[in-house]
Amino acid sequence: MIAKVKVGKPSDTLDADQLVLPIAIPEFEEIHQLATLLHERGKPYQDTVWGWPVRYSPMRPEPVPDSNLHFTPADLFIGVWPIWWVSFMWEAGNDQAPTVTIGDEELIQ
């Protein structure tokens, strides 16, 4: 999908309008399939996919500091914050559906 993203903030040296650039972002279903595949493999992963950085970390038995969780959940992150990103976190355990968070506030609908 081609989306548009706002870049920077208006300043005295630029017109009052923000710069808007087209970017290519994958469809959510493609990201979900990648997250599922990497989670099934259960191995750390870091690469560039569809032109965006991707990082997957499997669950670890160590608890998260300052959390009620008794383990560190598996997670996947794709994108570049704050431009656009998607996060999957298996907070309820490896065999449960992940919590999905999407950061697309900078995209122009």
List, for residues 24-80, the tens digit of each pLDDT value.
Answer: 899 999 999 999 999 999 999 999 999 999 999 999 988 888 888 889 999 999 999
Which residues, including other chains, have CB under 8 Å from residue 12's CB and lie 6 or more apart?
none
> Full-prediction pTM beyond 0.85?
no
pLDDT the model gives residue 41: 97
* CB crowding 3-17: b at 16 or more within 10 Å, else e: bebeeeeeeeeeeee
Spatial contact of 74 and 64, defined as CB atoms under 8 Å apart? no
pLDDT the model gives residue 29: 97
pLDDT the model gives residue 7: 63
Using CA atoms of 34, 38, 44, 50 in order, give the dihedral in degrees to the nearest 10: -20
